[in-house]
Amino acid sequence: MTDRLPGFNTLAIHAGAAPDAATGARATPIYQTTSFVFDDVDHAASLFGLQAFGNIYSRIGNPTCAVLEERVAALEGGTAALAVASGHAAEFLTFHTLLQPGDEFVAARKLYGGSINQFNHAYKNFGWNVVWADSDDPSSFEAAITPKTKAIFVESIANPGGVIVDLKAIAAIAKKHRIPFIVDNTMASPYLIRPFEHGADIIVHSATKFLGGHGNSVGGLIVDGGTFNFAGDDRYPMLSKPRPEYAGMVLGETFGNFGFAIACRVLGLRDLGPALSPFNAFLILNGIETLPLRMQRHSDNALTVAEHLQGHSKISWVSYPGLRSDRYHNLAQEYCPKGAGAVFTFGLKGGYEAGVKLVSNLKLFSHLANIGDTRSLVIHPASTTHRQLTDEQKTQAGAGPEVVRLSIGLEDTQDLIDDLNQALDAA
């Protein structure tokens, strides 16, 4: 007697996006407005008191952004989501909702360099202390847990590429210690990996990457899995204690299994302000409609290019879990059998100098600090994204001096291979 849930391709196009109630517009309208009129004074009071569903002001919520939120919540299989200005904002609001000054969280050491910076430096100002664990060794997460640990954070496929994290093993540790398990699913997208199915409680995204997919809009999302019971848990006062901001309301109780997403919105987004523009939400939504098609092509193309590079005389190693010889191939088969994503790294025999030359010589690959574009992208992390890290941190993060990262786009693979060949010849 259950209502059958539509398939992933259908959700990617339809979830959250019914025709506009007022006009019948079929594409999601860009509600480019700061504010929304109230029906009357009582309606305004209901909205401000979180007693009615509706729109007040676009810093707190916007109908275009809401379509994006429901779309991504549906694709990940979560209860609710919150769209924010960037992937960093998604991480920030997530930790703001979970941590108090003096608290700790355990994070995998292999992460996007920007997240490493955020955790190591910016978060120190709030008294949130990161404790690093070995991405390849789930027991190191357990060893890092203390009574102050409020969250565990990993990337499902870790930047700068080539690492698949054993989500189930880390989820089991998080469950055992009753700690929310946060997964950054940016690199995989829900098409390749759905972390809630492997025990995640919260998912964050940089929608800038594969969700938007066209390199035109920065944005982020927080998705609530509805799986962690915050109500009555004194460790999480944002969700379990009466909130003075809302006349004593207990958010985790009032909003049940989507209380975390609501708390991120009404305590985080409302007061800290990193709202997503409705125009960006529209572009990201447009991108998501083709997510299943693009992610498959990204992965297929990446495998073709990685296989080619593996045999190249100037390359010492290629780290792509789609390759049969890769150390993460078995984990990739388990977690992302459709493909291992667009992004991977390789090592140049010529080291740092060869990396700098290669990015200069490429003509089709764009040298820039992003991933997940229709265009193929290249970066030399040691001289750019990971520049601020120490040499030891660079190597630990998989961004040593000889490492080059590619984000393979949707072009013809022969053109990509030709461009890499000519640039390697000249490097």
Note whether 62 and 55 are within 8 A (CB): yes
Q: Is 40 in the site for other proteins (CB under 8 A)?
A: yes
Among 9, 30, 33, 43, binds other proteins (CB under 8 A): 43
Binding-site size, other proteins (CB under 8 A): 60
Q: Give the nearest distance from C-beta 367 to other proteins in angstroms.
A: 36
Q: Cα–Cα distances in Å, from 281 out to 61, 95, 101, 206, 326? A: 12, 23, 32, 12, 37
Q: Give the nearest distance from C-beta 22 to other proteins in angstroms.
A: 7
C-beta closer to other proteins: residue 18 or 426: 18
Binding segment (CB under 8 A) for other proteins, from list 35-43, 99-107, 123-131, 405-413? 35-43
C-beta closer to other proteins: residue 50 or 303: 50
Q: Give the nearest distance from C-beta 17 to other proteins in angstroms.
A: 8
Note whether 193 and 73 are within 8 A (CB): no
Which residues between 363 and 422 bind other proteins (CB under 8 A)? Answer: none
Among 49, 102, 127, 337, binds other proteins (CB under 8 A): 49
Binding segment (CB under 8 A) for other proteins, from list 66-74, 92-100, 347-355, 364-372? 66-74
Q: Is 66 in the site for other proteins (CB under 8 A)?
A: yes
Q: Is 90 in the site for other proteins (CB under 8 A)?
A: no
Q: Give the nearest distance from C-beta 53 to other proteins in angstroms.
A: 4
Binding segment (CB under 8 A) for other proteins, from list 36-44, 292-300, 325-333, 378-386? 36-44
Q: Is 54 in the site for other proteins (CB under 8 A)?
A: yes
Name the residue among 407, 412, 419, 424 with its Cα closest to residue 210. Answer: 407
Q: Is 78 in the site for other proteins (CB under 8 A)?
A: yes
**Any bridge partners for residue 205, and if so which?**
221
Q: Is 351 in the site for other proteins (CB under 8 A)?
A: no
Q: Is 24 in the site for other proteins (CB under 8 A)?
A: yes
Binding segment (CB under 8 A) for other proteins, from list 68-76, 182-190, 309-317, 403-411? 68-76
Among 28, 67, 163, 306, binds other proteins (CB under 8 A): 67
Among 39, 334, 412, 418, binds other proteins (CB under 8 A): 39
C-beta closer to other proteins: residue 82 or 379: 82
Question: Residues 232-271 vs other proteins: string with x where CB under 8 A?
Answer: ----------x---xxxxx--xx-x-x--xx--x------
Secondary structure of the chain as H, E, C letters = CCCCCCCHHHHHHHCCCCCCCCCCCCCCCCCCCCECCCCCHHHHHHHHCCCCCCCCECCCCCHHHHHHHHHHHHHHCCCEEEEECCHHHHHHHHHHHHCCCCCEEEEECCCCHHHHHHHHCHHHHHCCEEEEECCCCHHHHHHHCCCCEEEEEEECEECCCCEECCHHHHHHHHHHCCCCEEEECCCCHHHHCCHHHHCCCEEEEECCCCCCCCCCCCCEEEEECCCCCCCCCCCCHHHHCCEHHHCCECHHHHCHHHHHHHHHHHHHHHHHCCCCCHHHHHHHHHHHCCHHHHHHHHHHHHHHHHHHHHCCCCEEEEECCCCCCCCCHHHHHHHCCCCCCCEEEEEECCHHHHHHHHHHHCCCCEECCCCCCCCCEEECHHHCCCCCCCHHHHHHCCCCCCEEEEECCCCCHHHHHHHHHHHHHHC
Among 81, 182, 288, 358, binds other proteins (CB under 8 A): 81
C-beta closer to other proteins: residue 55 or 376: 55
Point out which residues bind other proteins (CB under 8 A). 1-6, 10-11, 14-22, 24, 36-37, 39-40, 43, 46-47, 49-55, 61, 63, 65-67, 69-70, 73-74, 78-83, 242, 246-250, 253-254, 256, 258, 261-262, 265
